[in-house]
Amino acid sequence: MINNGLFKNSVETEEELRAIAGFPSELVKNKSIPYIDHHCRDFISKSPFVVLSTTDKFGFCDVSPRGDQPGFVLVLNEKQLIIPERPGNKRIDSLQNILSNPKIGLLFLIPGLGETLRVNGNATIVKDEELLGKMTVKGKRPLLGIGVEVEECFIHCAKAFKRSGLWDPNTWPDKATLPSAAKILFEHAKLPNSSVASIQERLDESYTKTLY
């Protein structure tokens, strides 16, 4: 364990952690189920956004968003679902991780709802044309799919969303004060012959022409 700087006073054992954080209630301990029931299927059908968590064989973690119209994640049966892999930036961090470590965690969100659905399992990169064809949008089939063999499903409480006010427009900052992706990319990438304006143009084009 790396422990230096401001993090010298840290928790180092599960016993110490439990002494501070406590233990889950019976409801929390028993809420997990090992399959996709009709409640989970309904939740997924209404979700336009899911966050994927993967880890490579060395333990390096990655969290990546996926989004589309509600129901874009296809539930095949009680134990299997598939997520379309639309065109992206070609880093394919999640896919590369899955090749070396199939473990995956999913967090499904529904706008306006504080509770989220967590699904854990094992992932496979799918290239089956019949399955991918079922997720065609605007005449374009996804490049690949992330198939998940479900091991665990459970509802996560809304406390984080209530504390953050995420779905409350009254808490949202003024758009003029928001970070600029183009400015950040310009500073971080330091590409020759580029500018904030040229990077913004590239982003705008990708958002309008290569979503599918």
Instruction: Answer whether 0.85 is exceeded by the pTM.
Output: yes
List 80's β-bridge partners, or say none: 149
Q: At residue 91, what are phi and psi to the nearest 5 degrees? A: -70, -35
Q: For residue 3, give Cα distances in angstroms to 18, 60, 128.
A: 20, 18, 46
pLDDT in tens, 16-37: 999 999 999 999 999 999 999 9
* Sheet with strand 61-67: strands edge to edge: 61-67, 49-55, 103-109, 116-126, 144-156, 80-85, 74-75
- Tokens 């199939």 identify what position? 102
The whole-angstrom separation of Cα 182 and Cα 197 is: 8
Structural domains for the chain: 24-164 (2.30.110.10), 173-209 (no CATH)
**Which residues make Cβ contacts (< 8 Å) with residue 3, sequence separation at least 6?**
10
* Whether pLDDT at 59 is above 70: yes
The tokens describing 120, both together, are 């854990």
Contact present, 54 and 61 (Cβ < 8 Å): yes
Across residues 4-24, what is the average pLDDT? Answer: 93
Say what the pLDDT of residue 1 is: 54
pLDDT in tens, 100-135: 999 999 999 999 999 999 999 999 999 999 999 999
The region, left, alpha or beta by phi > 0 then psi within -120 to 50, assigned to residue 34 is: alpha
Contact present, 161 and 114 (Cβ < 8 Å): yes
Q: Is 166 exposed, middle or buried (0-12, 13-18, 19+ CB in 10 A)?
A: middle
The whole-angstrom separation of Cα 124 and Cα 107 is: 18
